[in-house]
Amino acid sequence: MHRILPRAASFLDAAAAPARPLLPSSRMPALRLAGPSLSACSVPSTARLHPLPWLRCGGGGAVARRGLCCSAEAARRGDVAAGEGEEEEEGRGSRGGGGRNSPERRQRGRGDAATGSGELLAIPGVGPRNQRKLVEKGFDGVAPLKQLYRDKFFGKSDEKMVEFLQSSVGIIHKNHAESITLFIKESVDEEVKDTDTSKPCRRKRLTFCVEGNISVGKSTFLQRIANETIELRDLVEIVPEPVAKWQDIGPDHFNILDAFYAEPQRYAYTFQNYVFVTRVMQERESSSGIKPLRLMERSVFSDRMVFVRAVHEAKWMNEMEISIYDSWFDPVVSSLPGLVPDGFIYLRASPDTCHKRMMVRKRSEEGGVSLDYLQGLHEKHESWLLPSKGQGSGLLSVSQVPIHMEGSLHPEIRDRVFFLEGDHMHSSIQKVPALILDCENDIDFNKDIEAKRQYARQVAEFFEFVKKKNEALPAETSDGDKSMSPQVMLPGRGDLWFPGGSPLPKSALGSLEFRRAMSSFLSK
């Protein structure tokens, strides 16, 4: 049974910060459709060491199974026979017939020098023809293929290895290439899991936190973009925000979200405290995943930089309560490096748009949330995640990607990546990169598949960028060893700071062409 507290009438309107001009309803820039070109991969060193001859008499393959002998004529006929039947044979394997682990497939692995050890035939999607092609390229067993995957494709979208198998090895059918990729990927993942279950893929795995105002569409973004696109499906593991935990606590099914909105002054601290605890629990629960990228909905930093600031400003959290919050926030964050992400993704839309979306979804607890409240939260997101001018003395700072790193940013996201920095920033997220995505336009993800993939590509490219950046860092400053001297510093006012009071051109904010806008802004 839910314990619903009586709702305070439009308390949020009364307590919200004074209205500030809304951002113009920004238009999403024309979608750039040019996807990342797949990098041409050279044959790995292991492959170069095994330049095996191409023999036409398939020792352990379809020819042998069909009982054909190895005379030149029979070989010729056998080859033709294999060539004809093999697509079907390999196709069956790739679709699961005589599956990956079936005894029948394992049996076939009696090879000779021409076809390697023969173990390739145990891979779904590999029949005699594909076996020959692989051996020809030096992949005479499962091990060199695994090595190829580790060297070139680990942590990348499966598409890249599929593309390689088709274009460089000559596997004709995409489903065969996909089956081979899946088999190799799963084998490598298993090995990684076996060797270190306490820190799976620790050095390779990244975490991004997805941020944005109430109702901007974080959950939809995570579910639809990350789960349903080929660019991200195999790359990403999603950790949704624990809202359900807030709505149903203990055997009495208390709903702290509802309690907070009904009596914010009474419950703001308790709620923010519980939000933090549930995030820690979720981080723990999701820490043993093996996918290369963990996408978490929000973070303890948005709790602190956005919501705790908002409730403090609204006087729903008093001075004692915020002091208590801060007294444990720093030490706890410092002792739990898993809470510190490798990057942020900021889904950005105007408060108006978020308000409209909130009205449509009608979450019962949010009935009293006003446009003014959303506006206040929007400004706090902006002052936290968006670059502005100024260095030191408590001012927010420009945080552009250093010139020497620009080259590693894919053109599709070059104008949208910034580093968080400034005196107001918690020390553990100083220099953490943020990708800003315009979510102003309503997109029907059921129909606009290209828009969905466009977002997915941007996330995938951001992942590549952050991965490269982290690899370039000295070991002690990467991943769990991030140095963290505790510090929470907030801007003196809850506003964006602009020199001389002249804001960043609205058109620039709208179009998200920050880099260009910032250059002209700085040259003033």
List residues near ligand TTP by CB under 6 A: 212, 214-219, 241, 243, 257, 272, 275, 298, 303, 307, 366
Catalytic site positions: 297
d(Cα 153, Cα 120) in Å, to the nearest integer?
19
Find the shortest distance in angstroms from Cβ 212 to ligand TTP: 6
- What span, in angstroms and rounded, lies between the C-alpha atoms of 13 and 291? 43
Nearer to ligand TTP, 133 or 452 (CB): 452
Residue whose CB is less far from ligand TTP, 133 or 304: 304
Instruction: Tell me which residue has tokens 């002792």.
Output: 335
Helix (H) or strand (E) holding 238: strand 236-239
Report in angstroms how near the CB of residue 210 gets to ligand TTP at its nearest: 8
DSSP assignments along 322-357, one per residue: HHHHHHHHHHHHHH-GGGS-SEEEEEE--HHHHHHH
Nearest CB to ligand TTP, comparing residues 275 and 420: 275
Count other C-beta atoms under 10 Å from residue 148's C-beta: 24
Residue closer to ligand TTP (CB basis): 136 or 303:
303
Instruction: Report d(CA 123, CA 115) in Å as an integer.
Output: 14
CB of 342 to ligand TTP, least distance (A): 20
Shortest separation between residue 216's beta carbon and ligand TTP, angstroms? 4
Smallest gap from Cβ 471 to ligand TTP, in A, equals 31
* Per-residue b or e along 273-308, where b marks 16 or more CB atoms closer than 10 Å to that residue's CB: bbbbebbeebbeebbebebbbbbbbbbbbbbbbbbb
Contact 503, 495 (CB under 8 A): no
CA nearest neighbour of 386 among 377, 374, 398: 398
Q: Which letter does DSSP use for residue 16 in this model?
A: S
CB of 382 to ligand TTP, least distance (A): 15
Residue showing tokens 């030149």? 72
Judged by beta carbon, residue 102 or residue 247, the one nearer ligand TTP is: 247
- Shortest reach from residue 303's CB to ligand TTP, in Å: 4
Distance in angstroms (rounded) separating the CA atoms of residues 205 and 343: 12
Choose among 515, 517, 521, 523: nearest CA to 498: 521
Strand pairing partners for 211? Answer: 346
Task: Provide the CB-side half-sphere exposure for 120 (13 A, CA).
Answer: 34
Q: What is the C-alpha to C-alpha distance for residues 342 and 459, in angstroms, rounded to an integer?
A: 13
Name which of 257 and 429 has its Cβ closer to ligand TTP: 257
Q: What is the DSSP string of 90-159?
A: HHHHHHTTT-TT-HHHHHT----GGGTTSGGGGSTT--HHHHHHHHHTT--SHHHHHHHIIIIITTS-HH
Give the phi and the psi of residue 138 in degrees, each rounded to 5. Answer: 95, 0
Q: Cβ of residue 257: shortest distance to ligand TTP, in angstroms?
A: 6
Query: Residues for the chain: how many in total?
Result: 524
Residue number, 346 or 465, with CB nearest to ligand TTP: 346
The sign of the torsion formed by the CA atoms of 135, 139, 142, 143 equals positive
Is 60 or 217 the residue whose CB approaches ligand TTP more closely? 217
